[in-house]
Structure 1
Amino acid sequence: MTQVKPTLCFLTGTLNALAGAERMTATIANALAEQGYAVTILSLWDPSSCFALHPAIRHEALFTERPSFKRGYMATVAGIRRHLKAHRIDVLVQVDTMLSLFALPAALGLGVRHIAWEHCHFDEDLGRRARKWARRLAARYCTDIVVLTERDRKRWLEALTPGGSVVCIPNPLPFALPAQPALRTSKTVLAVGRLVHAKGFDVLLNAWALVVQCIPDWKLMIVGEGPERSALEALRDQLGLRTNVALPGAFSDITRAYEQASIFCLSSRYEGFGLVLIEAMAFGLPIVSTACETGPLELLEDKRNAIMVAVDDHLALANALLDLISNSVETDKLARAAGEKAKLFSMEQIAGDWNAMLC
């Protein structure tokens, strides 16, 4: 007898932002819809999406613009409940443990299975103390907690859920493995991410000021958008890097950036996963990365598929970049290992992991 697939809802803040969690929401929802699941996505605000959605997916939003959730708490809970009842949702995937504060009361008495999807690492609350309480709530009432790394799974089990169901499902490569790796003929180092403090682009700019003293013909391209743009542009100009550093904004098709680069650099202060590392690996780019929690420490092996340096150390970052730029043998070795690693994160593999958990 064919098993009936549960009806799924992904609850998220918004899909109209070029950021990792939003991108993964669309990617996983699309993959599961392709497998025959009935899928809805409920955004708390903004009915638009930066990402293409499978034709069978229904995307709705509670509010047109981001509201004050303190003032609109009851309206938010009521709106989620209406959606769950109207679409007869069996499984509610909360795309942030903070959403447990809304989702759990919204589904009370409806028999909905709750899955909390953690995109940050356990020891980072992103400046919101309520996140710690939300995690405790999720650990107690959600059927499963999905985390992105084994390191984080162990932290959840140690701290909140001994004997509970904490499942490690890494993020998948959101595009097919390229037929060919990047040519790596341009004198370009690439960094990708939201322009926020966590990504450490200020550290990278200070490192780049040292790099160009030795190799002034190389360029740094930082692809992304965010609230720190003006501060980063000011720092770039203060360091005299206007002609050596490009900040072109976010790309709707990020593969173009990887194709045009020769080295990839991640300067983050922390990462929940670090999807950009997998993307760069897929294009066979040698990587320089900070050894930050949790993704880089799990995804990368120092001197095997990346060069790793301490967080917030612009001198070490500069030296690592200079070493790679001047050592083609090392870059070729790292690039080959990176390409092999990327194969472990295919969409087929990760969608299969989600399917196994849901069934």
Structure 2
Amino acid sequence: MTGYAQRDIFFVSNSVDELGGVTSWSHQMARLFTERGHRVHVVGITPPAVAQELGEVAYPTTTLYDGQPPRPGRARAASMREQAARLTALFSAARPGAVVIVTQVWAMEWVELADTRGLTVIGMSHESFRYSKASSRFRRVLRHYRDVDRMLVLTREDADLWIGQGLNNASFMPNPLPFMPEVPSPRTQKVVVSMGRLHDQKGIDMLLDTWAEVAPRHPDWTLRIYGSGEDEEMLHKQCTALGLDSSVEWMGRTSDVPGALRGGSVFVQSSRGEGFPLALMEAMAMAVPCAAFDCAPGVHEIIRDEEDGLLAALGNTGELARKLSTLMSDEELRDRMGKAARVNIQRYTTEEIVRRWEDLFRFLER
């Protein structure tokens, strides 16, 4: 490593192995920083409700609670102080120049009770401003991230909106490309791929409504849905009620994302809210053209509409159906957009994003 100080870097999240994109991002960055010679520690507040398999990691992980913390009240306050003292002990053993990256605002409630003197503290929101504003997290971000050294979101557009709310420490940092496979999808199978947790945010119910319009026009195509989650039973019932069981394949979770994408010719994302969606980046890296709801600045920053993918207005299932149908009907268009996607997405290489993080650490240390 040349030109950059080797640092102690702490990632603090709700859980170290919670199912979802924030966990995947945290461990990707932890691995990248470790490979760059930094000393990384990943900390979770509680065990997750739904875990994801991490495999072996080259850095320590710590979970503060064995179960869920007490309900709000005196016992909760006492337990938070006790666990914050554990964070203080971890932080106090760090070398000068250490950085604490808080990936979710709930976890910040413990970090701000700990002693972080001499450390750089960065708070993150991995969702769009619009999606955050519709949730209880919005007020918590304004309250708990107001005094951190930098509050990071995923796009300049969202950073400007937070600055408009008085968070003058807001800036942005895009996600890195999860992988760049040597062998892209040949786009020869008549398969549309969806990938994400079976949860309201991911809008699989809207995807099924969309597919109900698409499937009759393309009876030789299949929708392949990868993912698991709390809405699985409800979605299966919806699928059956819409008469789609013969054209929809429920694949469950996969540990082979490139393999799953290599089996598709089109990718679809139907989310109600996103930050900077890794699934779109993964599909584009595999040269699979995407059709997606334009639900967040991160989506229209990743996809250049009509150039390397197609965007539909959020919630407009008819429009998303038309965009999907356009890609499914035109092999030449799929090939052109898929190849463009694979080239364009390389602006988010891991080397570029890690360099930007290290530049930020150095800037904030001044």
- Whether TM exceeds 0.5 here: the answer is yes
Deviations 1:36-95 (A, max 9, x none): 11111111123986224542x111111233334635343234223323324524321111
* Residues 73, 188 of structure 1: alpha-carbon distance in 2 compared, 3 angstrom cutoff: farther
Question: Is residue 34–residue 54 contact of structure 1 (8 Å, CA) maintained in 2?
Answer: no
Q: Determine which of 138, 145, 164 is the counterpart of 1:132.
A: 138
Q: Percent identity?
A: 27
Give the whole-Å Cα distance in 2 for the aligned partners of 1:270 and 1:301.
Answer: 18
Q: Which residue is equivalent to 1:174?
A: 178
Structure 1 residue 30 displacement after superposition? 1.0
For the pair 1:82 / 2:116, whether they are aligned, the reply is: no
User: Where do 1:1-359 residues align within 5 Å?
Assistant: 4-46=5-47, 50-52=53-55, 54-55=57-58, 57-68=59-70, 70=72, 71-86=75-90, 88-89=93-94, 90-107=98-115, 110-125=117-132, 128-129=135-136, 131-162=137-168, 164=169, 166-175=170-179, 177-359=180-362
Deviation sequence 1:289-320 (CA, Å, 0-9, x none): 11111211222222111111111122212121
Deviation at 1:128, TM superposition (A): 4.5
Deviations 1:305-347 (A, max 9, x none): 1111111122212121111111112112211210111211111
2:268 partner SS: strand
- Secondary structure of the structure 2 residue equivalent to 1:124: helix
CA–CA separation in structure 2 for the residues paired with 1:73 and 1:174: 38
| 3-state SS, counterpart of residue 116 of structure 1 | strand
Q: Separation in 2 of the partners of 1:345 and 1:74?
A: 43
For each residue in 1:243-263, what CA deviation from the matched residue of structure 2 results, as whole angstroms up to 9, or x when unmatched? Answer: 211122111222221111110
Instruction: Tell whether the 8 Å contact from 1:100 to 1:137 is kept in structure 2 after alignment.
Output: no
Which segment drifts farther, 221-230 or 2-11? 2-11
Please give the secondary structure, in 1, of the residue aligned with 2:113.
helix
On the 8 A contact 2:187/2:335 being kept in 1, the answer is: no
Q: Tell me, yes or no, if the aligned pair for 1:187 and 1:262 is still in contact at 8 Å.
A: yes
Letter in 2 for 1:113: T
Distance 1:75 1:138, change over 3 A: same
Matched AA of 1:66: Q
Change (3 A) 1:213 1:49: closer
Q: Which amino acid aligns with 1:155?
A: L
Displacement, 1:126? Answer: 7.6
Please report the TM-score for the alignment, with normalisation by the length of structure 2.
Answer: 0.90
User: Are the aligned partners of 1:78 and 1:106 in contact in 2 as well (CA < 8 Å)?
Assistant: no
**Structure 1: stretches of 5+ with no match in the other structure:** none
Q: d(CA) in 2 for partners of 1:350 and 1:28?
A: 10
Q: CA deviation at 1:125?
A: 3.0
Task: Give the Cα separation in 2 of the matches to 1:217 and 1:353.
Answer: 45
Distance in 1 (CA, whole Å) between partners of 2:132 and 2:265 is 34
Give the TM-score, by structure 1 length.
Answer: 0.91
Q: Distance in 2 between matches of 1:86 and 1:189?
A: 46
CA shift for structure 1 position 20: 0.3
Give distance in 2, aligned partners of 1:128 and 1:67.
22
Q: Structure 1 CA distance, aligned partners of 2:120 and 2:346? A: 32
For 1:278 and 1:227, locate their aligned partners in 2 and report how far apart those are by CA, in whole Å: 25
Partners of 2:317 and 2:153 lie apart in 1 by 30
Task: Quickly say closer, same or farther: Cα 1:66–1:259, change in 2 above 3 A.
Answer: farther
Residues 184-222 of structure 1 deviation map (CA, whole Å, 9 limit, x = unaligned): 111100011111112111111111112121221211011
How far did residue 281 of structure 1 move? 0.4
Which residue identity lines up with residue 65 of structure 2 in the other structure?
Answer: F
Q: CA deviation at 1:156?
A: 1.7
User: Offset of 1:127 from its aligned partner?
Assistant: 6.2
Paired amino acid for 2:107: L
Contact map agreement 1:203 1:267 (CA 8 A) in 2: yes
Task: Work out the CA distance in 2 between the residues paired with 1:101 and 1:127.
Answer: 20
CA distance in 1, matches of 2:238, 2:57: 41
